[in-house]
């Protein structure tokens, strides 16, 4: 249940909001922290995966007999070893097919077989000995091409859902979504100025530095262990157990330290294969992806093609907004186009708005969630048009945005009415920020954009054990991808009224706690943090009861204040306050251990808005863009550990800068990925960037006892448009395709000067 909590805005915090050292810091700076690939088991085998070289091909047969004869090879698995146990669950079936190709290879890099051998070199030799008989099929990798009537079909029977009337012919379009309200056509009739543009964005990869890795160990008794780097080990357990026909409780999954995820580790790829190999070989099997495999076979985000039309009156009021979004999500249904369509206009207060989305399949790897999935591309298109429209209306883009910004009570473009939200404060703060007034030089431009993400809560289960020495162990089931254990300790310490360094948080395996949802949707500090607070309150109740027993007064005559049990009033009795430590010390002889628990499904995660400002400089000779200055202003509700909130803002902004300027999946005509490595898929490096300035706003979320909102995702939404707007301002040409790589920018500049010449 969401809480209605007025205390959050007035409460004075002792621990929350400070910046202590994180509990896993020493392990991580000394190399001791154990990540996915750092585990070993006695007698472990090396598992390697054979992948399709073709973007689209029928698999007519697989002959592994030679590989199996090679000394040291202990098991080979193909799709025949993973029979369909999905029981009509279409999404799970897609996961199964993506894990290991069945009748067809649907993209270059699609797994077709796997081996387990006693060494990496034997496993490599064995892969070469597996013969796959392919019948090559025509392929398509571009979203607009895939929607053409004669495009090669991935699923020859697929009829688009959500169309009225239902189409008769099959296509690569999975589904049509439409969101909005009002009458868009009528709105445009009132418009005095209209801007209409088309945009394209390329697929980008989450680019976590740690490739997927796991160590599986399954015995013939049906019991198994899995060590894995994942954003959600409970999800891994349930998914793998279902795919392999195991009992959930007999598969114990331990989450390793995780070297980045950003949404890309919210599903399974190698885990079911490692388990199947281990089961067949009856030995532990370790599978570690290479970087090339990560690029070719794990989730990039969608590439997109988007049309946007926005109309306004001369006084700067938007009267209608319309967008059509086409996202390809790789070879399976489920591109995040619905979130693109829902978030496209979410930052504005509009009477007439419509966003239509098409989910399209292509011969590319199955997209996986990437930080605010689907939102950045839609935001790029809409915020680019907004900037242009503001100029045409003759207003400063920031004033135009302020005039039209969504606020409390706005009927959002995706349906609900907003409660207290922080968009306007971020805009106002942006206008006052020194960055906004700083002078610009030649070939330099300033751009801005506002972005939105929903955030959600989900299931969390937390256990809290109070030691007899008065220290507290917090057991959580949410993998820590960016310092969340520190936040859990902070909230626990705050609630119990004890120092931060008396609390330790650990991430427990699936056998220890009830189900915890994946660490995604910016949910962990919000939902698991709330579970920590509730578990602390549960423990406090027991601590008070214990004090009441010791004092011989009724339980409800004891209150908890500043880490002490106290008689509620003078008529409750006259006892000196008893600290947590004093109560804990007596626990063994007053009824045994004291622990708090909480398990729930959290809702009421507040939406989150951000405004970003970007200055860039373009070299007209080379087309190279340098980011000169960058500022992020975002509402965090309440920043539990401000350093890690800033870190989320900065990290998201830089991923967005990469998306805007460099990063892209480049496909050849042969349907093969041409840049499956960090040399040619260039993520931003240290020397590309300035410091990323941050401003944390705190507009409390009524759905959390401390007012916390998720902060992890919104920060990647505005940068694409903020960067593109700044580059467009620097060169005077509207850039409508991402990334704005040097060749693209040079081409745009040449086109502009040719047009100028022709006009003379």
Partner 1 sequence: MAKVIIWSSLKSHTGGESNLEIEAGNVKDLLARLGETYPGLQPQLKRGVSVSVDGIIFRDGWLTPLKPDSEVVLLPRMQGG
Partner 2 sequence: MSSIKVSTTINGDPTEYVCEADETLLDVLRNRLGLTGAKEGCSTGDCGACSVTIDGRLTCSCLVLGAEMDGAEIGTIEGMASGEKLHPLQKKFIEHAALQCGICTPGFLIAAKSLLDHNPKPTETEVRFALAGNLCRCTGYDKIVRAVMDTAAEMRRA
Which residues of this protein are in contact with partner 2, per CB under 8 A?
A: 19, 21-22, 24-26, 28-35, 37-38, 40, 121, 206-211, 257-262, 288, 290-291, 481-483, 641, 643-644, 646-648, 650-655, 677-679, 683-689, 691-692
Q: What is the DSSP string of 406-475?
A: --TT-B-TTSSBP-S--HHHHHHHHHHSHHHH----TTEEEEEEEEEE----EEEEEEEEE-TTS-EEEE
Which one of 209, 438, 754, 755 is in contact with ligand FES (CB under 6 A)? Answer: 209
Instruction: For the segment 230-259, give every residue that binds ligand FES (CB under 6 A).
Output: none
Task: Between 208 and 348, name the residue whose CB sits nearer to partner 2.
Answer: 208
Q: Point out which span in 136-144, 259-267, 386-394, 543-551 binds partner 1 (CB under 8 A).
A: 259-267
33 binds, among partner 1, ligand FES, partner 2, none (CB under 5 to 8 A by kind): partner 2
CA count, 13 A, side-chain hemisphere, 225: 15
Task: Between 305 and 528, name the residue whose CB sits nearer to partner 2.
Answer: 528
Measured in whole angstroms, the distance separating CA 393 from the mean position of its chain's CA atoms is 36
423-432 vs 397-404: helix crossing angle, rounded to 10: 160
Establish if 682 lies at the interface with ligand FES (CB under 6 A): no
Instruction: Using CB positions, name the residue nearest to ligand FES.
Output: 209
Nearest to 372 by CA among 170, 122, 652: 652
Task: Between 26 and 747, name the residue whose CB sits nearer to partner 2.
Answer: 26
Nearest to 374 by CA among 437, 434, 303, 321: 303
- Give me the least distance between CB of 694 and partner 2, in Å please: 8
91 binds, among ligand FES, partner 1, partner 2, none (CB under 5 to 8 A by kind): partner 1
Establish if 121 lies at the interface with partner 1 (CB under 8 A): no
- Give me the least distance between CB of 207 and partner 1, in Å please: 12
Task: Between 90 and 209, name the residue whose CB sits nearer to ligand FES.
Answer: 209
- Give me the least distance between CB of 472 and partner 2, in Å please: 22
Residues 638, 706 contacting (CB under 8 angstroms): yes
Phi and psi of 430, rounded to 5°?
A: -65, -40
Strands 353-360 and 318-328: parallel
Task: Between 255 and 323, name the residue whose CB sits nearer to ligand FES.
Answer: 255
Conformation bin of residue 329: beta by default, left when phi > 0, alpha when psi is -120 to 50: alpha
Establish if 525 lies at the interface with partner 1 (CB under 8 A): no
Secondary structure of 527-582 in the HEC alphabet? Answer: HHHHHHHHHHHHHHHHHHHHHHHHHCCCHHHEEEECCEEEECCHHHCCCCCEEHHH
Residues 391, 397 contacting (CB under 8 angstroms): yes
Which one of 27, 63, 133, 178 is in contact with partner 1 (CB under 8 A)? Answer: 178
Task: Between 438 and 747, name the residue whose CB sits nearer to partner 2.
Answer: 438
Establish if 369 lies at the interface with partner 1 (CB under 8 A): yes
Task: Between 257 and 517, name the residue whose CB sits nearer to ligand FES.
Answer: 257
Per-residue binding string, partner 1, 180-199, x by CB under 8 A, is: x-------------------
Nearest to 371 by CA among 454, 310, 311: 454
Secondary structure of 72-110 in the HEC alphabet? Answer: CEEEEECHHHCCCCCCCCHHHHHHHHHHCCCCEECCCCC
Instruction: Return the H-helix or E-strand segment holding 221.
Output: none
Task: Between 288 and 319, name the residue whose CB sits nearer to partner 2.
Answer: 288
Determine how many CB atoms are found less than 10 A away from the CB of residue 97. 21
Establish if 683 lies at the interface with ligand FES (CB under 6 A): no
Per-residue binding string, partner 1, 81-110, x by CB under 8 A, is: ---------xx-------------------
Supply 673's token pair: 């990925």
> What is the torsional sign of CA 25, 30, 34, 35?
positive
CA count, 13 A, side-chain hemisphere, 746: 8
- 311/556 Cα distance (integer angstroms): 62
256 binds, among partner 1, ligand FES, partner 2, none (CB under 5 to 8 A by kind): none
Q: What angle do CA 99, 101, 104 make, to 5 degrees?
A: 150
Task: Between 91 and 209, name the residue whose CB sits nearer to ligand FES.
Answer: 209
Instruction: For the segment 205-234, give every residue that binds partner 1 (CB under 8 A).
Output: 206
Task: Between 459 and 631, name the residue whose CB sits nearer to partner 1.
Answer: 459
- Give me the least distance between CB of 114 and partner 1, in Å please: 27
- Give me the least distance between CB of 209 and ligand FES, in Å please: 4
- Give me the least distance between CB of 649 and partner 2, in Å please: 8
Nearest to 335 by CA among 518, 487, 495, 203: 203
Establish if 79 lies at the interface with partner 1 (CB under 8 A): no
- 634/596 Cα distance (integer angstroms): 34
Instruction: For the segment 556-615, give every residue that binds partner 1 (CB under 8 A).
Output: 601, 603-605, 607
Q: Point out which span in 55-63, 261-269, 462-470, 501-509 binds partner 1 (CB under 8 A).
A: 261-269
- Give me the least distance between CB of 127 and ligand FES, in Å please: 21
Instruction: Return the H-helix or E-strand segment holding 487.
Output: helix 484-496
Per-residue binding string, partner 1, 384-423, x by CB under 8 A, is: ------------------------------xxxxxx----
Q: What angle do CA 515, 503, 705 make, to 5 degrees?
A: 65
DSSP state of 171: -
Establish if 754 lies at the interface with partner 1 (CB under 8 A): no
Number of residues engaging partner 1 in binding (CB under 8 A): 54
- Chain residues that interact with partner 1, rule: CB under 8 A: 1-2, 90-91, 161-164, 176-180, 206, 261-264, 266, 336, 338-339, 342, 354, 356, 369-373, 414-419, 454-459, 520-523, 601, 603-605, 607, 703, 712-713
- Chain residues that interact with ligand FES, rule: CB under 6 A: 209, 260
């Amino acid at each position: 249940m969401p809480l209605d909590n007025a205390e959050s805005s007035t409460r004075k915090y002792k621990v929350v909001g400070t910046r202590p050292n994180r509990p896993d810091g020493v392990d991580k700076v000394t190399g001791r922290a154990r990540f996915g690939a750092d585990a070993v088991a006695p007698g472990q085998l090396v598992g390697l995966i054979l992948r399709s070289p073709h973007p689209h091909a029928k698999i007519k047969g697989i002959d592994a007999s030679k590989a199996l004869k090679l000394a040291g090879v202990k098991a080979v698995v193909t799709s025949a070893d993973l029979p369909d146990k999905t029981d009509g669950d279409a999404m799970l079936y897609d996961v199964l097919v993506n894990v290991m190709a069945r009748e067809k290879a649907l993209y270059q890099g699609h797994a077709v077989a796997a081996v387990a051998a006693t060494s990496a070199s034997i496993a490599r030799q064995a892969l070469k000995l597996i013969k796959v008989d392919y019948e090559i099929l025509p392929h398509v990798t571009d979203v607009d091409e895939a929607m053409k009537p004669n495009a090669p079909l991935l699923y020859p029977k697929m009829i688009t859902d959500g169309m009225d009337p239902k189409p008769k012919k099959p296509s690569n379009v999975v589904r049509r979504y439409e969101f909005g309200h009002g009458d868009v056509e009528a709105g445009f009739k009132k418009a005095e100025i209209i801007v209409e543009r088309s945009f394209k964005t390329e697929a980008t990869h989450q680019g976590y530095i740690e490739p997927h890795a796991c160590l599986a160990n399954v015995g013939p008794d049906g019991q198994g262990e899995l060590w894995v780097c994942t954003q959600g080990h409970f999800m891994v357990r349930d998914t793998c157990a279902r795919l392999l026909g195991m009992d959930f409780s007999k598969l114990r999954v331990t989450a390793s330290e995780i070297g980045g995820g950003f949404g890309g580790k919210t599903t399974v790829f190698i885990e079911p294969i490692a388990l199947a190999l281990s089961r067949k070989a009856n030995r532990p099997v370790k599978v570690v992806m290479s970087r090339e495999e990560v690029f070719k076979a794990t989730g990039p985000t969608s590439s997109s093609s988007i049309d946007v039309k926005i109309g306004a009156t001369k006084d700067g009021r938007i009267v209608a907004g319309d967008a059509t979004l086409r996202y390809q999500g790789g070879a399976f249904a489920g591109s995040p186009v619905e979130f693109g369509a829902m978030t496209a206009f979410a930052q504005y207060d509009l009477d007439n708005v419509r966003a239509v989305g098409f989910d399209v399949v292509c011969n590319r790897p199955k997209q996986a969630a990437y930080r605010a999935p689907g939102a950045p591309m839609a935001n790029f298109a809409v915020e680019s048009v907004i900037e242009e429209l503001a100029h045409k209306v003759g207003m400063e883009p920031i004033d135009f945005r302020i005039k039209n910004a969504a606020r409390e009570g706005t009927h959002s473009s995706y349906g609900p009415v907003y409660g207290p939200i922080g968009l306007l404060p971020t805009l106002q703060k942006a206008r006052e920020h020194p960055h906004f007034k700083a002078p610009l030089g030649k070939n330099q431009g300033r751009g801005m954009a506002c972005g939105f993400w929903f955030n959600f809560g989900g299931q969390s289960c937390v256990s809290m054990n109070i030691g007899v020495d008065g220290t507290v162990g917090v057991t959580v089931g949410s993998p820590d991808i960016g310092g969340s254990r520190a936040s859990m300790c902070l909230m626990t310490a705050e609630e119990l009224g004890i120092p931060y360094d008396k609390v330790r948080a650990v991430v427990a395996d699936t056998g220890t706690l009830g189900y915890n949802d994946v660490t995604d949707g910016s949910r962990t500090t919000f939902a698991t943090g709330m579970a920590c607070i509730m578990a602390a309150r549960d423990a406090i109740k027991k601590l008070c009861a214990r004090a009441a027993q010791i004092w011989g007064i009724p339980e409800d005559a004891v209150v908890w204040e500043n880490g002490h049990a106290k008689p509620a009033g003078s008529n409750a009795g006259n006892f000196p306050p008893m600290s947590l430590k004093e109560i804990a010390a007596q626990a063994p002889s007053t009824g045994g251990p004291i622990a708090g628990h909480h398990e729930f499904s959290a809702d009421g995660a507040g939406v989150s808005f951000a405004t970003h400002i970007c200055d860039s400089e373009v070299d007209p000779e080379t087309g190279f863009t340098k980011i000169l200055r960058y500022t992020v202003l975002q509402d965090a509700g309440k920043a539990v550990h401000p350093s890690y909130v800033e870190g989320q803002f900065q990290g998201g902004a830089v991923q967005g800068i990469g998306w805007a300027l460099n990063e892209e999946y480049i496909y050849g005509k042969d349907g093969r990925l041409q840049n499956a490595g960090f040399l040619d898929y260039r993520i931003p490096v240290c020397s590309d960037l300035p410091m990323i300035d941050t401003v944390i706003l705190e507009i409390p979320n009524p759905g959390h006892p401390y007012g916390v909102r998720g902060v992890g995702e919104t920060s990647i939404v505005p940068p694409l448009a903020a960067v593109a707007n700044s580059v467009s301002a620097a060169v005077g040409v509207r850039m409508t395709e991402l990334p704005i790589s040097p060749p693209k920018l040079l081409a745009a500049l040449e086109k502009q000067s040719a047009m100028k010449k022709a006009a003379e």
